Structure 1
């Protein structure tokens, strides 16, 4: 099998979120199963120079978008055992950040055309092109429309993965029609039209051969008006082609026995894990207390992640004997809420605004509990990482959180965490208090941690499902 992954970010080259982790790790798991994967990315200015040393020039072409004619270079590199094909255009991609510009539509329409042109020129066509999120949604569309005349490309099958349906790449209809140079028929209700505008996400949903998303529960949820982001009708139409495949994590990287960021390496020993808690308490200015339950949060500080619930419940939470360690940034109102709490509860709340990879790992390792009260969560990686670090998650029952965290049942001794259903501060607070009660029961707590350690959180099972999907398409 020969597969191209097309994405807007991937570790180790560039990362803004969990998408990069998936696109960086899944190809390695597929390679272990004999699948030949090339990851296609924009050549951003943020890619460290060390990865570009020894890059192989794969030629160039020109991309036409309406009246625009833009250079497109192709470079091949290898990083972390994965082959990357980089689309080079400094006008679009040599900027200070990956996203957030006024010409976002033009940048990623160009990227879609560049991928199609690269396919038309490659010596060995892939069996499957696997596209990820809205930035690549136009690739299946272009292969089925503008490039349908190419006899070689007709046999290339496409998979489109929804990592987060909330981000859709919606632009004015006239702008996308100009950039794509397509007729009104393709911008209608059965095409890219989206409530008077046009959607790149919808392009992927309508034109890819198969659709996937990052958990079975999220695959069901997004077919409902509550979670469907106004695309639930399209997703119901394509329900037979939609499958949920749970994400994994890179267990070699996220290994508390080998993680260089930790004070004390450990595997099963809760005593050694507790030494990391003492070190983090000292690092963050928390009261150094081995017995105080430490609740960790590594997250974007936004409504989706349930920070309104945390804010509402915070006074009652701090009435319990616990400490809170938070890493993240986002909505100014939630940042303000946490800044105020630091002053109100000195020594009991510590917050690092921004992102720090080493500190994130130390929070995963040091915390006794990990809080994720998300209003929706396509998959979530933090709960998987916390379980890998023997930290017990508290989650809301939605999306991938529901698929990966089983509520502890004290009568049967089963379950690897704690969960609640309604998105209310009351239900979250009740569940946190329940978890704290079991934390005080040493025997029960060891059982919960041990249950979490039994599962394999790597990519092998997911890679097998993707390989089967690819082979079905390629038949």
Structure 2
């Protein structure tokens, strides 16, 4: 066991309190796994007005104080709630966080600069001095440079190390250079040195990359991909400059929450020894989706944000070819209006084959994972991906493109040897994707082979324990210097 460390995990969203994507799941599950290994890890996030009342009414007042965001004098409330053995802190300021949405605001630069400064200033007041502050994505990018420029001169802060995790490099938080004086309150030299500047804008993501002690990404493959111009989103040069400090640690899955034998969100429970419950789930979902209740045809699930990154345009280009086959498709997600219209149009055209649910519904998502035979994830790029991990856990065979974490977790099925755990295609090409779907459909007709594959993939272990141990080793190396 490593020496017990103190870690503060800083995230703009944490499940189940607030969630727009996989970051929230990581911010809930990884700290729980690290805490389970004996370390004192605490989580902090904004107290959004969107947080469900059942959680807000359970928050305990801890302290309050005032802080400055450049010329602004702001109130800071700190509240806490313990969940799964982890203390979660919430930064309370209604003018910044009681909004209709979390990120699409005109003053995002101020919101998250305030959040970073409030997090740093609450620590001595809480009498909690972390060995490591672990930041996540652009919303927390300013924290490391604020720590260096404004706080390291004080004894309390001088030994604190920072880790910055890139969950999705595409979203960067870019603003005009006026925010240096107007919002960030840091020395203008950082602009001149280029460590916060990209394309003549202040870039919060680049701040985190250039000023943290260590950078991680959410899969080993993605850690290499983002060093290239194809996947680097313009910041590949910054990644390469810090290449010796960039590590890929594969995201895990909370195997307690995602357990087909106990999950209360699905219709029927099951396990790899007895798949009858999975077949009952399929029948029940078909009924609820107004699809013919047929066990003999493959049901393909798609749970996704409906954006180009997720490969929706590939599905568009082969939809009629795919739906000419004896299959069913259940879709759940929200996103670009054009893609929502596309799936609703498919549902109208193929009412006995397509069910399109243009919304976010966590319980329905779980039902789709448990009920489907196959799970489609044809991403243009995918830092890690949780969908394919959930589908494996529920015995739903993934069909994915070989990119990022998808390539790290899904290996192509070989019908001769039975090796592999899914169907994969290499190039971002709709014909290649359709070929793999057809291969999966063909295997589905061979019931014994298909059932063997289903039972095998339920037995895979992508839980958080191994990833938590990797993070602890990285933290320990940083603390030791």
| TM bin (shorter chain) | over 0.9
SS in 2 for 1:321: coil
**For 2:154 and 2:39, how far apart are their aligned partners in 1?**
25
Alpha-carbon shift at residue 119 of structure 1 (Å): 2.4
Matched with 1:440 is: 445
CA deviation vs aligned residue, 1:12-47 (integer Å, no higher than 9, x gap) = 211121111110111111111001111011111122
Bigger Cα displacement from structure 2, 184-193 vs 339-348: 184-193
**Runs of 5+ unmatched residues, structure 1:** none
Matched with 2:137 is: 133
Matched with 1:386 is: 391
Matches within 5 A, 1:155-170: 155-170=159-174
**For 1:423 and 1:292, how far apart are their aligned partners in 2?**
27
Alpha-carbon shift at residue 181 of structure 1 (Å): 2.5
Matches within 5 A, 1:234-313: 234-268=238-272, 269-313=274-318
Bigger Cα displacement from structure 2, 444-453 vs 52-61: 52-61
User: Contact conserved, 1:140 with 1:207, CA < 8 A, in 2?
Assistant: yes
SS in 2 for 1:152: helix
Matches within 5 A, 1:356-371: 356-371=361-376
From 178, 183, 186, the equivalent of 2:187 is 183
SS in 2 for 1:264: coil
Matched with 1:456 is: 461
Alpha-carbon shift at residue 104 of structure 1 (Å): 0.7
Alpha-carbon shift at residue 54 of structure 1 (Å): 5.7
Matched with 2:30 is: 26
From 177, 189, 196, the equivalent of 1:192 is 196
Alpha-carbon shift at residue 55 of structure 1 (Å): 4.0
**For 1:53 and 1:261, how far apart are their aligned partners in 2?**
24
Bigger Cα displacement from structure 2, 78-87 vs 197-206: 78-87
**For 1:393 and 1:236, how far apart are their aligned partners in 2?**
32
Matched with 1:420 is: 425
Alpha-carbon shift at residue 341 of structure 1 (Å): 1.0
Matched with 1:87 is: 91
CA deviation vs aligned residue, 1:342-396 (integer Å, no higher than 9, x gap) = 1111110001111111111111011000000000000000000000000000000
SS in 2 for 1:329: coil
- CA root-mean-square deviation: 1.3
SS in 2 for 1:458: coil
SS in 1 for 2:301: strand
Bigger Cα displacement from structure 2, 236-245 vs 446-455: 446-455
Give the TM-score taking structure 1 as reference length. Answer: 0.97
Bigger Cα displacement from structure 2, 224-233 vs 266-275: 266-275
From 135, 151, 155, the equivalent of 2:155 is 151
Q: How many residues align?
A: 475
**For 2:88 and 2:275, how far apart are their aligned partners in 1?**
40
From 396, 403, 406, the equivalent of 2:408 is 403
User: Contact conserved, 1:105 with 1:176, CA < 8 A, in 2?
Assistant: no
Matched with 1:233 is: 237
Matches within 5 A, 1:61-80: 61-80=65-84
Matched with 1:341 is: 346
SS in 2 for 1:464: helix
Alpha-carbon shift at residue 239 of structure 1 (Å): 1.1
Alpha-carbon shift at residue 117 of structure 1 (Å): 0.8
Matched with 1:316 is: 321
User: Contact conserved, 2:177 with 2:200, CA < 8 A, in 1?
Assistant: yes
**For 2:72 and 2:11, how far apart are their aligned partners in 1?**
23
**For 1:474 and 1:310, how far apart are their aligned partners in 2?**
47
Give the TM-score taking structure 2 as reference length. Answer: 0.96
**Runs of 5+ unmatched residues, structure 2:** none
